[in-house]
Amino acid sequence: MKFTRVARVKVKKAFDRIRNEKLKQNLLQAIPFWVASLVTGLVAVLYSRLFALAEKGTAYIAHTHVWLFFIVTPSCFLLAWWVVRRFAPYSRGSGIPQVMAAIELATPKYNDKVNKLLNLRIVCVKVISSLVMAFGGGVIGREGPTIQVAGSIFRKINEWLPAWWPKISKRNMIMTGAAAGLAAAFNTPLGGIVFAVEELTRTHISYFKTALFTAVIISGLTAQALLGPYLYLGYPDMSHLSGYIFLCVLLVAVPAGLAGSLMSRWMLRIFRWKDTFRFTRQHVFYIIGCALVIASMAFFINIRALGSGKELMTTALFTPDKYNSWYMPLLRIVGNIFSFTVGASGGVFAPALSAGASIGATFSGWMHLSPTDSNLLVLAGMVAFLTGVTRTPFTSAILVLEMTDRHNVIFHLMLAGMVASLVAMLIDKHSFYDHLKYQYMHEVMKDEV
């Protein structure tokens, strides 16, 4: 009996040592995620405030001397493009395709390739180029760039870990960083998680779900601590919706989904055409042409053709001026095309949402809907257009839901996303980001080490 008691004590001590060692290892593996999430939240807040200042500068010019855009816009577009071309070519565009490509290549064999897509230089260039574009009136957003910035931060912190530290999957670190970046940019934690599952991994997340959840929470709480518990858009009135509003949602989701997919198709065609450029002056002429087109739209047609479009969305949702002219969706789409294809830094999330909102507002005016019904169609248009670009209906619906906190219309928004995803397949079976992901993978594999 005495021997049995001694054996039991030894076994218990052995199990305690194993459990304590496992807890220690789990804690050490969690710390890099926590630190990276905190840094991401701080950087996202600083970036959002700088971006808001840049857009305020654009608004000041718009309300004082609109004609200045014929000088400011080409100058800013050229500077933003040159900064990217000179210092970090892979910081151009949204940043989401670069993160997707980095996830695909995240193995020791291709570590140098991933470093070209995610690094600290890209963080600086991404922010500077997109701020210059925003000041010049570019139709871009900061959400895609925030995702690449967050992915770079997470990857760099993983690289800084000492050799004795428990190993952490590079792929999981990058994916978690991207989700945390989106959560901090939009203040949408669920959207960040769904985005990681639906767009980045397309696989089961059991192996890194704890890290993913904690990273999203920490980055989101950091942003909220500095900016307050804000909603990206606010609380639009969704009471007393009509019984037939589901049919109206369908009527908006179809053209909005098609428009998002068509816009993506045209941007890809322009990228292929630009690949034939052999001289720098060809790029310069194209950039100046794009800038002058956007400045002309603002000067001769409507100043709301400029910028990310957040003001357009809030105007449609919270003021009596809910209905757009028929040409506003075209201005938003054309502005997005000519801004994104310049080759500078800037995302398509916010511009896609504003383009969809303009489609919803236009259809609401045509159908003479009530203010609350119009609000719903604006949100449905946002979900549908973004889905047409990204092919992520659930991410789009959850993002818009968290931006407005209108849970009573979740089924309407999911319906818009699903319909848009189906009709977008008629234009292209792959998303805009999928095409760009393979393009970046091809480029980085072709480059010499």
pLDDT in tens, 358-386: 999 999 999 999 999 999 999 999 999 99
Q: Are residues 196 and 262 in the same domain?
A: no
Instruction: Show which of 199, 227, 255 is a domain's final residue.
Output: 227
Looking at the domain assignment, is residue 298 inside a domain?
yes
**Cα separation of 99 and 84, whole Å?**
17
Any idea what the CATH number is for the domain that residue 113 is in?
1.10.3080.10
**Torsion (CA) 348, 296, 359, 181 in degrees, nearest 10:** 20
Residues 6+ apart with CB under 8 A from 308: 55, 134, 139, 140, 141, 142, 350, 351, 354
- Is pLDDT at 184 greater than 50 in this prediction? yes
- Is pLDDT at 219 greater than 70 in this prediction? yes
Q: Are residues 210 and 250 in the same domain?
A: no
Structural domain count, the chain: 2
For 10-55, what is each residue's pLDDT tens digit? 656 656 566 666 677 777 888 888 888 899 989 998 999 999 999 9
The per-residue b/e assignment along 274-309, b for 16 or more CB within 10 angstroms, e otherwise, is eeeeeeeeebeebbbebbbbbbebbbeebbbbbbbb
Residues 6+ apart with CB under 8 A from 436: 93, 94, 97, 268
Token pair for 133: 């574009």
Ramachandran region of residue 444, left (φ > 0), alpha (ψ -120 to 50) or beta?
alpha
Q: Quick check: 382 and 401 in contact, CB under 8 A?
A: no
Looking at the domain assignment, is residue 435 inside a domain?
yes
| pLDDT at residue number 28 | 80
DSSP 1: -
| pLDDT at residue number 144 | 85
| pLDDT at residue number 127 | 95
Token pair for 318: 């919270």
Looking at the domain assignment, is residue 238 inside a domain?
no
Place of tokens 């710390």: 31
pTM for the structure as a whole: 0.88
Looking at the domain assignment, is residue 16 inside a domain?
no
* Low-confidence winner among 41-50, 74-83, 159-168, 261-270 (lowest mean pLDDT): 159-168
- Is pLDDT at 449 greater than 50 in this prediction? no
User: Of 434, 436, 445, 442, which Cα lies nearest the Cα of 109?
Assistant: 445
Structural domain span for residue 196: 35-227
Q: What is the mean pLDDT of the chain?
A: 87
| pLDDT at residue number 259 | 96
**Cα separation of 80 and 84, whole Å?**
7
Instruction: Show which of 227, 255, 275 is a domain's final residue.
Output: 227
**Whole-Å CA distances, 41 to 45, 212, 224:** 6, 14, 9
Token pair for 38: 């905190």
Looking at the domain assignment, is residue 302 inside a domain?
yes
For 276-322, what is each residue's pLDDT tens digit? 999 999 999 999 999 999 999 999 999 989 988 888 999 999 988 88
| pLDDT at residue number 229 | 61
Looking at the domain assignment, is residue 9 inside a domain?
no
* Low-confidence winner among 187-201, 311-325, 360-374, 393-407 (lowest mean pLDDT): 187-201
Looking at the domain assignment, is residue 29 inside a domain?
no
Q: Which phi and psi (to 5°) does residue 326 adopt?
A: -60, -25
Q: Are residues 308 and 356 in the same domain?
A: yes
**Cα separation of 183 and 181, whole Å?**
5
Amino acid present at 307: G
Q: Are residues 168 and 253 in the same domain?
A: no
